[in-house]
Amino acid sequence: MYHYSYIKVFAPATVANVASGFDVLGFALEKPGDTVELTVKQEKRVRIVKITGDKGVLPFDTKKNTAAVAVEAFLKSINYPFGIDIVLHKQMPLSSGLGSSAASSVAAVFGANILADDPLKKNELLDFTMQAEKAACGAAHGDNTAPSLLGGFVLIRSYKPLDVIKLPVPEGLSCVVAHPHTEVNTGDARKILKKEVSLSKAISQWGNLAALVAALYENDLSLLGRSLMDVIVEPVRSLLIPGFNRVKAAALETGALGCSISGSGPSVFALCANMNSAQKVGSAMEESFKEAGLECDLYVSMVNKKGPLLLEKK
């Protein structure tokens, strides 16, 4: 009845917030990301049968694992008559500010949709990944799942109702992510923010975000660089990341267009005009983290325009 009974899918890590776009903007990376294998089973239930690369940290409980939550909600919505076994290969650090839980749920639901012969469009899958985020972190955020699913830069204008806008990506735009080996708890990262901000800083922030959107449409990398400015969240959250100021300074000195915190950290991202520049900037950022006493993982890639990738089906 259906074409495939097995599928293997990759979904990318993402940088949420993007300096001036706190809580409303994110973009996808070429790497790292998660790979998921799905196998159709007669028994009508969803199971996590294996997880690799997570050092035993992630839950097998289908009410808590984002891949399972997303797939279960999706299968229910389309009345799929079978069950699915999920094998989850974590190929990126957890709690790193790179949208790890989002990459898993996006890969899983993207794959499940193909197994069901594509009943839904890509953007119709977003809701299931947001339900998964809610199960995993208590809030139905979409600034990681939307870019992981849709690729490129994605703006979330509003959650109620959900209003998601895909933005253009300047040719060649590349990204460095440095993930220092330290932990920032997402809850702490949120608690440290004040509930009130000064109107003048908010104005500066929305001026920068509006200009960032214009820069993407205009292909204006200089304007993009000037707009990657966060006067509200970065000054507070950067306190939780040892060496942040030196790392950022090193990135800008070696030619990065802009540099800020990825998601709620501790990863730090820099956007660059091309891969050559990104390689140089990456080395400088790594060196600066070392000077602050931190080893880091370095990921250098183009901005990902496509989202999830089908690796194998049978």
- By CB under 8 A, name the binding residues for a copy of itself: 20-25, 155-158, 163, 165, 167, 193-200, 202-214, 217, 223, 226-227, 232
Coil, helix or strand at residue 205: helix
Q: Find the shortest distance in angstroms from Cβ 260 to a copy of itself.
A: 15
Q: Please, which residue, 42 or 158, has the CB nearer to a copy of itself?
A: 158
Residue found by looking up tokens 């901000």 in the block = 197
Residue 35 annotated in active site: no
User: Of 30, 133, 234, 286, which is the active-site residue?
Assistant: 133
Residue 6 has what DSSP assignment? Answer: E
Q: Please, which residue, 171 or 295, has the CB nearer to a copy of itself?
A: 171
Q: Which residue, 240, 239, 244, 291, is CA-closest to 269?
A: 244
Q: Find the shortest distance in angstroms from Cβ 22 to a copy of itself.
A: 6
Residue 133 annotated in active site: yes
Q: Please, which residue, 203 or 249, has the CB nearer to a copy of itself?
A: 203
Instruction: Say what angle helices 66-78 and 100-115 make with each other, to 10 degrees.
Output: 30
Burial 119-149 (b: 16+ CB within 10 A, else e): ebebeebbbbbbbbbebbeeebbbbbbbbbb
268-272: strand order across its sheet:
258-261, 268-272, 174-180, 296-302
Q: Find the shortest distance in angstroms from Cβ 165 to a copy of itself.
A: 5
Q: Please, which residue, 78 or 236, has the CB nearer to a copy of itself?
A: 236
Q: Find the shortest distance in angstroms from Cβ 23 to a copy of itself.
A: 5
Which positions are annotated as active-site residues? 133, 186
